[in-house]
Amino acid sequence: MKIDRLLAMTILLLNRKRVSAKELAERFEVSTKTIYRDMDTLSQSGIPIVAHQGVSGGFEMMEQYTIARQFLTLNEITAMVAAVKGITSVMDDRLFATLLEKVKALLSKVDRIDVEQQGTGMIFDFNPWGQSSIARDKVNTLRQAIEETSKVSIQYLNMNGIASERVVEPSALILKGYLWYMQAYCELRGDFRVFRLSRIQELRMLTEHFVRRETPSLESYVWNSEWSKESKREVILNFDPKVHHRLLDAFHPDQITVLDDGSIQVKGQFADDEWLYGMLLSYGDHVKVEQPASVAVEIVSRAHNIIGRYSN
């Protein structure tokens, strides 16, 4: 519909400096003539759009113009309320508390009553079940360090269990799934690194400040299988139906097969490392290694070592 296209164009121009007629035509799948007519329509409706001629020409919104409440639907505003509430669940910050009140102010009194009675339909809570305040304290301390450009000293435990003390320049906090990470320049490595907050044993904000560096794009942190030094091989596991719910969270659906007897088979390529054995032992007697035999032998050996710790 034309009205939907006009609204989408308005929002796009609010978020972009200058957009050419060709780009708009391609984006909305219409002709450039239609774009020019749409711009005339928006201008006549009172939206201050400036047209620039030439090679670098295009359309842009006047800097002082902002979107009005009428452009947002009730569902869109309630979604914003839910999202901001989610942020305040993990960050003790007056900024987000104030932001929540401002977003709520976009709702009329009638809309507020409807939202209270019906709910938003969405809840964002970035605190995992049963998590203590330690994670929240880390997030708030690091966020303060980022804002004040203060260096931070951390005691860090890497994936191999090796501890190290590092001084870092934090640049961003990342919530990936249910885990928090910190992107920071590491003085020890002389480069940017990503640290998992749960592995930070001690955290101390220093009085020394740093000059912000150009940080790598977060898109560059896409998982690369070549990062794992361990070669992978096919592993076949047989699980008890009692742990089916855990398997749905731990493995890809293509790796899971429910067998005729009700047991569950997991087949996939896994590295022969500590993660594999720790994962298998966490299932206790609800899993059996079918292949390869070497993995089964290692599990038996580790089980005997566990028994040995309690034999005395």
Name the band, by pLDDT with cuts 50, 70 and 90, for residue 281: very high
Element (H, E) at 294: helix 293-310
Which residue's entry shows tokens 């001084």? 167
- Cβ burial, residue 41 (10 Å; 0-12/13-18/19+): middle
Note the pLDDT tens digit of each residue in 93-137: 555 666 666 666 666 666 666 666 666 566 666 666 555 567 778
| Rounded average pLDDT over 84-99 | 64
Higher pLDDT, 101 or 212: 212
Q: How does pLDDT run across 24-81, given as a tens digit for each residue?
A: 888 888 888 888 888 888 888 888 888 888 777 888 887 666 555 556 666 777 777 7
C-alpha dihedral sign at 73, 74, 78, 81 = positive
Region 287-303: what's the mean pLDDT?
92
Confidence of residue 227 (pLDDT cuts 50, 70, 90): very low
Instruction: Read off the pLDDT of residues 10-34 as tens digits, 9 standing for 90 and up.
Output: 777 776 778 888 888 888 888 888 8
Burial of 54 (0-12, 13-18, 19+ CB in 10 A): exposed
- Taking all residues of the chain, what is their mean pLDDT, rounded to a whole number? 80
From CA 187, how far away is CA 127, in angstroms rounded? 30
Structure tokens at 174: 């990342």
Spatial distance between the Cα atoms of 271 and 249, rounded to a whole number of angstroms: 19
Q: Are 243 and 258 in contact (CB under 8 A)?
A: no
Q: Tell me what pLDDT residue 123 has.
A: 65
CB 186 within 8 A of CB 247: no
Distance from C-alpha of 74 to C-alpha of 78, rounded to nearest angstrom: 6
To 10 degrees, what angle do helices 32-44 and 2-15 make? 80
> Is residue 150's pLDDT more than 90?
yes
State the pTM of this model: 0.52
At residue 267, what is the residue type? K
pLDDT at 88 (0 to 100):
67
Burial profile 297-311: b = 16 or more Cβ within 10 angstroms, e = fewer: ebbeeeeeeeeeeee
Q: Is the pLDDT of residue 176 over 70?
A: yes
Q: Does an H or E element contain 276, and which?
A: helix 274-282
Does the pLDDT of residue 234 top 80, yes or no?
yes
Percentage of residues of the chain with pLDDT beyond 90: 24
Give the number of other CB atoms < 10 A from CB of residue 232. Answer: 14
Give per-residue burial for 258-279: e unless 16+ CB within 10 Å, then b.
Answer: eeeeeebebbeebebeeebeee
